[in-house]
Structure 1
Amino acid sequence: MPLRLIFMGTPDFAVPTLLELVAHGHELAAVYSRAPKPGGRRGLQLQPTPVEQEARRLGIPVLTPKTLKASEALEEFRAHQADAAVVVAYGMILPQPILDAPKLGCYNLHASLLPRWRGAAPINRAIMAGDTETGVMVMKMDVGLDTGDIAMAERLAITDQMTAADLHDALAPLGADLMVRAMAALERGALQLTKQSEDGVTYAAKIEKAEARIDWNKPAHAVLRHIHGLSPFPGAWAELPGDGEPVRIKILRGELASGSGASGTVLDDNLAIACGEGAIRVLELQREGKGRMKSVDFLRGMPLKPGARFT
């Protein structure tokens, strides 16, 4: 018999899992997502989350409570009489009474190889730290921060060409498939859990805009991974001298390049920039107030000769 599930998720990353659960015949009693936020051209219209939009298209009831701690929220959650809850980037803490409500438990899809990168920004932090591998894991949730027992995992290599957007787009369908397999095993009573190790624990703190400025004094590989880990949002940035105020440039994609020089100095006509050790070549960037573009197009409108310097 298919499971009766509650799905809890908010961003694009969670949508493939919702679709796969529906496609595999599970009964979705309800979808929980974060409340709509103001958006649109003028910032006045309430914009439902990607998960809410998809759930409504599928005809699944959607709830957007501001808290799960109230007794009314718990009663409503219990009333769904779900076998289990599936949680993917929901963005709210689940208190113990909520975790206890489904008879088979609550299962979270997390975008790292736990216990490395527990927390809010595992995709970004894995790239920024220079990791060569990451993955997705299904765990049975407890009240800790990503500390639950592990059910299943899939691994994925991180290359120096990957941005956070690239890795996000690779892990989302991988995670959807993994969660479907986990729910199939749960349905058969065959899902095995392994206690999570406390060795090698790291925390993926939320990305702060203050850490987005590029430090050209770091080695080229660290600069490249910093750029890719913050692409497209919030976007790693540097400044160029302008006619008055400096011009802020977000650098969104690059590659390692040959050459050396003073940190932040443009080395050639193809936008190679010197780092503390080595250099990177900028491939895509965005001038403040403008759209994203290839570096060759940027240089047509704002030529930068060797010797120009990013700060």
Structure 2
Amino acid sequence: MRIVFMGTPEFAVPSLEAVASAHDVTLVVTRPDAVRSRGRRPEPSPVKARALDLGLPMLEAKRMDASAIDAVRAAAPDLVCVVAFGCILPDELLAVAPLGAINVHGSLLPRWRGAAPIQRAILAGDERTGVSIMRVAHDLDAGAWCRQASTAIGSKTAGKLFDELARLGARELVAAAGQIADGTATWHEQDPAQVTIAEKVRKDEMRLDPADARAANALRVQASTDAAPARCQIAGRGVRVVLAAPASANAPQVAAGAISLSHGRVLLGCADGALELLRVKPDGKREMDASAWAQGLRGAEGAAWGRA
């Protein structure tokens, strides 16, 4: 089957590899090179880099204007596969391929339509999340789905879930493409009453707060990403919290807003108990175990912590 693949970030790379191994990818469309690391030169998207490795024809497009749509049409796809491309797709594009366009979405639709489904599932305390293979529709993430796969969230960080769901999405995308091609795909319309929206996570949402429950602060850390990191101030020092967990029952009692340093453990007092920091990245320093960082906090016992 002839396929045009559209995607940009690392999340889309496993899907590109899987589709390219199973079908004839006649064109890869991705977003243009951009500055992806602070203070560095423009870099290719992960999808562009992998497409070049695979020797696939490629188009960089900031938006899907008439010339970009013409390029997709010239590639004569039977099906268009979209994975986190990064811009709205016009209705004209959706009509180019006889079998339409499908998308890998990182949630169990209709829950968590929108930009940040993985982080929102974590922040909401959902027990499970997954991927959905859906028709690309005019409205955002509103298309019917034909395949889903789920996984337990547990204590997995956003980064681990991104990687796991990327692999699940690749598997389900190839399976869906095969079913669509042979006419065996079963489509399920989304129930509007069950829809929730996964808005982009704002940086201020991820600030740890001593007035909140320790579980809420732990979920912020679990959902943390480079774009929206979990942060706080400890003894007047800004720090990104990379890994944390509610303190064990035998941990020292810590008042809300206070700090406890005991045997290399860093405990932050929250509204209903303590949050234990496990890995941190102090401002201007490398990431490290919290126990190593604690050595530089001597004298801060009982000092205050709060929102960054």
TM bracket, shorter-chain basis: over 0.9
Aligned to 2:213: 219
Q: Which amino acid aligns with 1:128?
A: L
The alpha carbon displacement at 1:210 in A equals 2.5
Aligned to 2:14: 16
Q: State the SS of the aligned residue for 2:193.
A: coil
- Which of 221, 238, 242 is residue 252 of structure 1 equivalent to? 242
Aligned to 2:57: 61
1:209 equivalent to 2:203? Answer yes
Aligned to 2:5: 7
CA distance in 1, matches of 2:36, 2:163: 24
1:27 equivalent to 2:20? Answer no
Structure 2 contact 254–267 (Cα < 8 Å) conserved: no
CA distance in 2, matches of 1:282, 1:92: 37
CA distance in 1, matches of 2:290, 2:171: 37
CA RMSD of the aligned region, Å?
1.6
Aligned to 1:51: 47
CA distance in 2, matches of 1:304, 1:182: 59
Q: How many residues align?
A: 301
TM-score normalised by length of structure 2: 0.93
The alpha carbon displacement at 1:75 in A equals 1.7
Identity %: 34
Q: Which amino acid aligns with 1:173?
A: R
- Structure 1: which 5+ runs fail to align? none
Structure 2 contact 112–197 (Cα < 8 Å) conserved: yes
Distance 1:196 1:205, change over 3 A: same
Q: Which amino acid aligns with 1:33?
A: T
The alpha carbon displacement at 1:300 in A equals 2.4
1:100 equivalent to 2:100? Answer no
Q: Which amino acid aligns with 2:6?
A: M
CA distance in 1, matches of 2:223, 2:298: 27
The alpha carbon displacement at 1:260 in A equals 4.1
1:187 equivalent to 2:181? Answer yes
Structure 1 contact 271–304 (Cα < 8 Å) conserved: no
TM-score normalised by length of structure 1: 0.92
The alpha carbon displacement at 1:65 in A equals 1.4
Structure 1 contact 266–304 (Cα < 8 Å) conserved: no
1:175 equivalent to 2:143? Answer no
Moved more, 84-93 or 192-201: 192-201
Structure 1 contact 163–231 (Cα < 8 Å) conserved: no
The alpha carbon displacement at 1:73 in A equals 2.2
Q: State the SS of the aligned residue for 1:85.
A: strand
Q: Which amino acid aligns with 1:266?
A: I
List structure 1 runs of 4+ shifted beyond 6 angstroms: none
